């Protein structure tokens, strides 16, 4: 009977693992239709195997979470790269336009400076004509 019980417990463990369900002493005992105290009292080696499987499941779960987080970060990085490229392209197309505008402003400034000098010269000429 003891060997049959052990086989039943091992089958229950494999079924839970195969189904991807959470493995612990209680879940294995419940699946086998036995009390969890049977595992504690009669099969301490199975208790260790179950604990090892719990650890493996926990590690797999953490790896899956880490992979999902990594994938999420990769997507964010790709999106940021695309936005950066788009901004760089916009800047590259705006720079020549800005330079042309600056050149136009300087040209207007030069023209105003010339007109200012001409106006000052006319004022000076008018003042000299009025005095004499």
Residues 41-70 have pLDDT tens digits of 999 999 999 999 999 999 999 999 999 999
Residue 13: which residues within 8 A CB-CB, separation 6 or more?
A: 23, 28, 31, 46, 49, 50, 53
Question: pTM of the predicted model, to two decimals?
Answer: 0.58
Which among 41, 45, 34 has a CA at the least distance from the CA of 9? Answer: 34
Residue 12: which residues within 8 A CB-CB, separation 6 or more?
A: 28, 29, 31, 32
Residues 89-111 have pLDDT tens digits of 888 888 888 888 999 999 999 99
Q: Determine contact, residues 41/5, Cβ cutoff 8 Å.
A: no
């Amino acid at each position: 009977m003891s060997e049959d019980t052990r086989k039943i417990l091992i089958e229950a463990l494999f079924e839970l693992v195969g189904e991807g369900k959470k493995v612990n002493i209680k879940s294995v005992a419940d699946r086998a239709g036995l009390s969890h105290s049977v595992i504690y009292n009669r099969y301490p080696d199975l208790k260790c195997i179950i604990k090892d499987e719990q650890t493996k499941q926990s590690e797999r779960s953490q790896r899956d979470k880490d992979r999902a987080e990594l994938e999420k970060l990769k997507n964010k990085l790709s999106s940021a790269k695309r936005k950066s490229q788009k901004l760089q392209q916009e800047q590259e197309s705006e720079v020549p336009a800005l330079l042309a505008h600056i050149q136009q402003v300087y040209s207007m400034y030069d023209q105003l400076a010339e007109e200012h000098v001409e106006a000052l010269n006319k004022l000076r000429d008018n003042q000299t004509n009025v005095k004499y």
